[in-house]
Amino acid sequence: MVAIATDRLTKVFPDGTVAVDEVTIEAASGEFLVLLGPTGCGKSTILRLVAGLEEETSGHVLIDGQVVDRLSAKDRRVAMVFQDYALYPHLTVAQNIGFPLRAGHEPATGTEARVAEVAEQLGVTDLLHRLPGHLSGGQRQRVAMARAIVRKPQAFLLDEPLSNLDAGLRAELRTDVAALARRLGVTTLYVTHDQTEAMTMADRVAVLRRGVLQQVGPPAEVYGDPATLFVAAFIGTPRTNLLQGAIYLEPERTVVDLGSQLLEIPPNEALAGHHNDRVTVAVRADALRPVPDGGGQGPVLRGKVRLVENLGHEALVHLDTGIVPTPIEESRLEHPETGQHLADVIAEDPPAGHPFRQALARMMPHARQEAQPATARTEYGFYPVYDAELADQPPLGDVVVRVPAPVLPRRGESMTVRVDVDKLMLFDRGGHRIRTA
């Protein structure tokens, strides 16, 4: 098998859209590399450039170490599978799978055996005589995969192949697809905007934003050690709490002023140049643990319960802490999962007068009552920035905490959470990580 690489690959469309911006990545031979990012970040364009379906503006595509910029799509020997299957409706499953062999004028004798072999690998042997119209979505996708591998490609390019399937089938197929790629040892580039898919399938994940590569690493690394604020925000469910703050270095302690509350953090040499700097504190729900009111010793945050999302085995509790979140300057389109949270829908989208928002507000009449931009209330005097253009109302100081069932708090109750400061992540104003470990 062969490695697939891009070298400062750039694509600017005629209308000036920079879809891919100097992206350099390499999928090692046999590796399953997932390109992850929100809608419009350039994932599909990268795949199409690698496949030779699109011409790069600058930079190179390398297959097996060779620059293939001048090779036609057909000569690159990579197989691409799209989300919409694109099977021929009037051909049977067997004919669909065998189509690339016939189109490639390979001897008919070998075709049948090869079709039978890949049908077996994909578990579609029983369907060989059916027409695509008589298959389920999952079956169609298996057939599309079978057709893609029938010519023993050097690499697999998969563009959101599971996104048309329902959730259950998607979970099942994602295991199958990853297992198949590994069994065949084919180098695979897999595009998705679904972080669960990326985290469960990938050897490594490449996170993209607006055409720019943010970070490449194994799933545990991009989750646990994000390089940029965007990666921290995009990966993780529930969404990472992103809080505006400022750092104060004092002889006897190091403090992050969060506007309405202070958090003492361990002194760290990496912070030496950051006295007085505005930062974003990223804290995932797993770094927060409810403690009895008062909190005892150690760093805590305090807030009022604003919303309890009961998930059965646990609940996600939204605390109004008065701390101002850092806006991530992304639209809902860029972050499709956001829409699943009712509170976020109300907080972000659609605009105030919209009937949908009014309907939601009737369902949750108290949801935004206390909205106030936080102002300095600590001795350090840090004022968070509230950008009125990014939301039509001041954001609530929402911090999301996991609380195990069955003892769930109620709305309006006070709550104290202990912060595991070793898991705090700090980002500078440019969104770059300030590494403290």
Ligand X SMILES: Nc1ncnc2c1ncn2[C@@H]1O[C@H](COP(=O)(O)OP(=O)(O)OP(=O)(O)O)[C@@H](O)[C@H]1O
Binding status of residue 258 toward ligand X by CB under 6 A: no
Binding status of residue 17 toward ligand X by CB under 6 A: yes
List the one residue out of 246, 239, 238, 258 whose CA is nearest residue 299: 258
Please answer whether residues 50 and 158 qualify as being in contact, where contact means their C-beta atoms are separated by less than 8 angstroms. Answer: no
Burial class (CB in 10 A: 0-12, 13-18, 19+), 32: buried
Q: Smallest gap, in angstroms, from Cβ of residue 159 to ligand X? A: 7
Q: Which of 44, 111, 215, 280 binds ligand X (CB under 6 A)?
A: 44
Binding status of residue 42 toward ligand X by CB under 6 A: yes
Binding status of residue 88 toward ligand X by CB under 6 A: no
Q: Which stretch binds ligand X (CB under 6 A): 34-42, 113-121, 217-225, 359-367?
A: 34-42
Please answer whether residues 252 and 368 qualify as being in contact, where contact means their C-beta atoms are separated by less than 8 angstroms. Answer: no
Q: Which is nearer to ligand X, 44 or 139 (CB)?
A: 44
Q: Which of 4, 9, 19, 231 binds ligand X (CB under 6 A)?
A: 19
Binding status of residue 331 toward ligand X by CB under 6 A: no
- Is the peptide bond between 384 and the residue preceding it cis, with omega within 30 degrees of 0? no
Residue 49: phi and psi, rounded to 5, are -65, -40
Rounded to an integer, what distance in angstroms lies between the CA atom of residue 221 and that of residue 401?
A: 22
Q: How would DSSP label each residue in 336-375?
A: GGGGG-HHHHHHHSS-TT-HHHHHHHHHSTTTTTT-----
| Chain residues 352-381 in contact with ligand X, contact rule CB under 6 A | none
Q: How many CB atoms lie within 10 A of CB 275?
A: 12
Q: Smallest gap, in angstroms, from Cβ of residue 201 to ligand X? A: 16
Q: Which stretch binds ligand X (CB under 6 A): 39-47, 234-242, 384-392, 425-433?
A: 39-47
Q: Smallest gap, in angstroms, from Cβ of residue 342 to ligand X? A: 24
Q: Smallest gap, in angstroms, from Cβ of residue 288 to ligand X? A: 31
Q: Which of 2, 23, 33, 41 binds ligand X (CB under 6 A)?
A: 41
Q: How many residues bind ligand X (CB under 6 A)?
A: 13
Rounded to an integer, what distance in angstroms lies between the CA atom of residue 10 and that of residue 17?
A: 11
Amino acid at 411: R
Q: Which is nearer to ligand X, 40 or 322 (CB)?
A: 40
Binding status of residue 193 toward ligand X by CB under 6 A: yes
What tokens does 139 get? 């079956």
Question: Which residues of this chain interact with ligand X, rule CB under 6 A?
Answer: 13, 15, 17, 19, 37, 39-45, 193
